[in-house]
Amino acid sequence: MFGFGTYPMTWKALFIRFLQCFLLLVPILVLQPAHMAGAQEMSRKTAASAGGCPDLIDLIKNITPVVVNISIERHVLQNTSQPQRPVRAHQRSLQDRFKNPDRLQNDSLGSGFFCDAQGHIVTNAHVVEGASKIVVTLSSGRVLTATVVAVHPKVDLALLRITPPHAVQKARIGDSTDIQVGQWVLAVGNPFGLGNTVTVGIVSGKGRFLGLGEDDNFIQTDASINPGNSGGPLFNMAGEVIGVNTAIIASGKGIGFAIPASYLAELINMRRTDEPIVRGWLGIYVDDVDERKAKDLGLATPRGTVVDEVLKSTPADNAGLIRGDLIYDVDGTTIRDGRHLSRVVSGAKPGDVLRMKVMRGKKARSVDVVIGRSPE
Give the separation between CA 270 and CA 272, rounded to whole angstroms: 5
Nearest-CA neighbor of 115 among 66, 42, 165, 183? 66
Confidence of residue 6 (pLDDT cuts 50, 70, 90): very low
Q: What is the pLDDT of residues 300-349, one digit of tens each?
A: 788 888 998 999 989 999 999 999 899 989 988 888 888 778 778 877 88
Question: Which long-range CB contacts under 8 A does 360-365 form with residues at least 24 apart?
Answer: 360/322, 360/324, 360/325, 360/326, 362/297, 362/298
The set of catalytic residues is 126, 156, 230
pLDDT averaged over the chain?
Answer: 76
Q: What is the pLDDT of residues 156-210, one digit of tens each?
A: 899 999 998 888 999 999 988 888 999 999 999 876 656 778 889 999 888 776 6
Give the pLDDT confidence score for residue 285 in this predicted structure: 87
Give the pLDDT confidence score for residue 35 in this predicted structure: 45
Confidence of residue 372 (pLDDT cuts 50, 70, 90): confident
Give the pLDDT confidence score for residue 223 in this predicted structure: 86
What does DSSP say about strands 143-151 and 158-161: parallel, antiparallel, or unpaired?
antiparallel
Catalogue all structural domains in the chain, each as residue range(s) with its CATH number. 57-77+86-277 (2.40.10.120), 280-373 (2.30.42.10)
